[in-house]
């Protein structure tokens, strides 16, 4: 857990690593108009609503952001403990995030059992991702914004058993 003198809480969040039968992981390209930021690929993630179970929040966020229904998600596992990151100064100034110092994330891994045609980035508006692709889990820390990188490095360690083709 990051340490700081900042007494603001961490925002409770979830994330979902979605693996296909080839062992590749789903990556979404963040909707960032007019941005030259090369670190725009990430997994579905989002906040936990008050009173909401973390696993159900992960399923909800995944469906909202990817259009993938729960019937096409087979549970594989979850991160051993919550993963934390602090917001950088520019994100801390955002009215949506100002009351939090960062995020406390509960991560889940699932196998996608559907077809690529069932992925619909416009399933819920506003649209979170402008495009998507399948990629290698090991490459994800280099695709994510730097302040989230340590989380993704830990996910590579914990979820690597799922990044193999299904026999």
Residue 107 located in a structural domain: yes
For the chain, give the percent of residues with pLDDT over 70.
95
Instruction: Tell me the per-residue pLDDT of 104-141, one tens digit each, with 9 for 90 and over.
Output: 999 999 999 999 999 999 999 999 999 999 999 999 99
At 22-49, the pLDDT tens digits run 999 999 998 766 566 778 899 999 999 9
Residue 125 in domain: yes
Between β-strands 129-135 and 83-86, what pairing exists: parallel, antiparallel or unpaired?
Answer: unpaired
Residue 167 inside a domain? The answer is no
Q: What is the largest CA-CA distance in the chain?
A: 49
With a cut of 70, say whether residue 19 has pLDDT above it.
yes
* CATH number of the domain within which 65 lies: 3.90.79.10
pLDDT in tens, 146-163: 999 999 999 999 999 999
Q: Give the structural domain span for 55.
A: 10-161
Q: How many structural domains compose the chain? A: 1
Instruction: Give the closest residue to 135 by CA, choosing from 36, 45, 17, 46.
Output: 17
pLDDT at residue 4 in the model: 64
Distances 10 to 5, 30, 79 between C-alpha atoms, Å: 13, 22, 18
SS3 of 14-59: the string is EEEEEECCCCCEEEEEECCCCCCCCCCEECCEEECCCCCCHHHHHH
């Amino acid at each position: 857990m990051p340490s700081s003198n900042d007494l603001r809480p961490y925002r409770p969040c979830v994330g979902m690593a979605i693996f296909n039968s080839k062992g590749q992981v789903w990556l979404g390209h963040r909707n960032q108009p007019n941005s030259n930021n090369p670190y725009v690929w990430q997994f579905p993630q989002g906040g936990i609503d008050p009173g909401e179970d973390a696993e159900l929040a992960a399923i909800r966020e995944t469906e909202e952001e990817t259009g993938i229904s729960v019937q096409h998600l087979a549970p594989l596992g979850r991160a051993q403990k919550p993963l934390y990151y602090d917001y950088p100064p520019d994100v801390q100034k955002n009215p949506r995030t100002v009351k939090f110092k960062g995020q406390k994330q509960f991560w889940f891994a699932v196998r996608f059992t559907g077809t690529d045609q069932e992925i619909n980035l416009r399933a819920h508006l506003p649209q979170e991702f402008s495009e998507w692709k399948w990629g290698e889990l090991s490459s994800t820390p280099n695709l994510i914004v730097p302040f989230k990188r340590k989380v993704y490095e830990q996910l590579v360690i914990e979820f690597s058993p799922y990044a193999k083709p299904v026999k």
